[in-house]
Amino acid sequence: MKRRKGEERIVYQAMAMVMQFGLNMIVPICMMSALGIWLDRKLGTSYLTILFFVLGAVAGGQNVYRMVRRMCGGEEQDGELGDSDEDN
């Protein structure tokens, strides 16, 4: 059975979306964790890695939340909430 090009396109779009979700979570977590490790070594502390890991996870979750909102059509641009100077 031969697949149609439209079906293949949907599969590729879904794969790209899943990869985007993963990258939106992993990149902030890795960057903030690396910063925490570096600061712990530089300052001689042992808690900044955990703190920065949590901050990275929160930032990644916020990225994914914004992405889902955009995809579901509930899109409101960040700068448009209550910043309507043009109406006055």
Query: What predicted TM-score, i.e. pTM, was given to this entire model?
Result: 0.70
Helix residue ranges per DSSP H, 1-88: 5-43, 48-71
Residue 5 has pLDDT above 80, yes or no: no
Residue 39 has pLDDT above 60, yes or no: yes
The DSSP 8-state label assigned to residue 4 in this structure reads P
Mean pLDDT of 61-74: 88
Residue 24 has pLDDT above 80, yes or no: yes
Q: Which has the closest alpha carbon to 20: 67, 61, 72? A: 67
Q: Any idea which of 15-19, 61-65, 81-85 has the lowest mean pLDDT?
A: 81-85
Q: What is the pLDDT of residue 51?
A: 97
